[in-house]
Chain A
Amino acid sequence: MRRVSTRALVVTGVLVALLLAGVVSHYASTSPDGLNRVAEDKGFSQTQTEHHGDGSPFAGYGTKGVGDARVSKGVAGVVGSLIVLVLAGGVTILVRRRTPEAESGDGREPVGHGGR
């Protein structure tokens, strides 16, 4: 099987995620989720308190100031995905082991070792 480069895989994957969060999310079910449904049925949903993050411009997966529901959710989804990508990508790059030799698949020179 043809080997897909890591970069191509990650870029494709992120584009799929952006499509899901930005476009497909519009068609998601708006029914309460499993926990919220049980909370309503069993009568403990009323103890839920106001969310401290309700003032956020993206509270409830909408974008403040955007009237169109589809665009409002889409923008929130894309922004959220990109923030998660930067944060999770940043954390994993910080904690990873730096390999002394470049991987053969990438065909790149070893970087960041013994330099400076």
Chain B
Amino acid sequence: MHVPDGFLDAPTSVATGAVAVVAVGVALRGARRELDDKTAPLAGLVATFVFATQMLNFPVGAGTSGHLLGGALAAVLVGPSTALLCITVVLLVQALLFADGGITALGTNIDLMGLVTVAVGYLVFRGLQAVLPKRLSMVAPAAAVGALVSVPVAALCFTGLYAVGGQADIPLGPLVTAMVGGHMLIGVGEALITGLAVGSIVAVRPDLVHGARRVLERRTLEVRRANGASA
């Protein structure tokens, strides 16, 4: 979903750039709460994995492909603020070194593929965590659903930006349908990769996974109570 230079007009690009600067500034402060000596190494790995996986376009329908966006994946693994920093690094390297995603569109891409997918993915994940059984086995499926929802929402947000500052005069209704429809399929791929990656890390080191913390805290309490009784 890397937006190239020239799709959106200058005022819109300046505005999305300003939003991105503020969001990354807030994330730099927020990441301090999420990262300590124990969890910091995972963040570098998450960014690297997102970069690598974004090179793996998978086919969706005839003549179209999609790749992982990674916001939900990163948010569940390292926390939403750190996730935004990770995705921003990936997008910066892609734009400057690989000519993938426009340079004037960098703010737009940080907003869509960073801010939106992180926020939507994480909110859906936390919402599901609140209603699902508090078990470690629920972390990966909840992350996958967050990922599934995050992609079409990002596509919808692109359409919104295009309505405000698109450089071509095209009807918006069909654009919404095409963008959201096409990206629902890509969301399925996003969900599979996210579920697999989160599930793998939860299986070996759940204590490092940001989204598993609440479950682990609760589990510790339950184990102590059971010791006194029957277990």
Task: Tell me the A residues contacting B by CB distance below 8 Å.
Answer: 1, 3-4, 6-7, 9-10, 13-14, 16-18, 20-21, 24-25, 28-35, 37-39, 41-44, 46-54, 56, 58-61, 73, 76-77, 80-85, 87-89, 91-93, 95-99, 103, 105
Q: If A33-B64, A83-B97, A98-B37 touch, does A9 touch B90 (CB 8 Å cutoff)?
A: no
Q: If A58-B97, A92-B35 touch, does A31 touch B64 (CB 8 Å cutoff)?
A: yes
Q: How far is the CB of B137 from chain A (nearest CB, A)?
A: 13
**5 smallest A-B Cβ distances: which pairs?**
A89-B44, A88-B47, A49-B6, A44-B168, A21-B52
Q: Is the Cβ of A53 less than 8 Å from the Cβ of B48?
A: no
Is B225 in the interface zone, CB < 8 Å from A? no
Q: Is the Cβ of B90 less than 8 Å from the Cβ of A84?
A: yes
Chain B residue at minimum C-beta to C-beta distance from A11:
B45
Is B43 in the interface zone, CB < 8 Å from A? yes
The answer for the CA separation of A54 and B205 in the assembled complex, in Å, is 41
Q: How far is the CB of B77 from chain A (nearest CB, A)?
A: 10
The secondary structure that dominates the A interface is helix
Task: Tell me the B residues contacting A by CB distance below 8 Å.
Answer: 1-7, 28, 31-33, 35-49, 51-53, 55-60, 63-67, 82, 85-86, 89-90, 92-100, 102-103, 155, 158, 162, 166-168, 170, 174-175, 178-179, 182-183, 186, 201, 203-205, 208
Chain B residue at minimum C-beta to C-beta distance from A9:
B205
Q: If A37-B64, A47-B167 touch, does A95 touch B175 (CB 8 Å cutoff)?
A: no
Q: Is the Cβ of A52 less than 8 Å from the Cβ of B5?
A: yes
CB neighbours of A91 from chain B (8 A)? 85, 89
The answer for the CA separation of A58 and B98 in the assembled complex, in Å, is 5
The answer for the CA separation of A44 and B166 in the assembled complex, in Å, is 9
Q: Is the Cβ of A49 less than 8 Å from the Cβ of B64?
A: no
The answer for the CA separation of A96 and B95 in the assembled complex, in Å, is 26
CB neighbours of B186 from chain A (8 A)? 34
Q: Which of B32, B40, B63, B162 gathers the greatest number of chain A CB atoms within 10 Å?
A: B40
Q: Which of A7, A24, A28 gathers the greatest number of chain B CB atoms within 10 Å?
A: A28
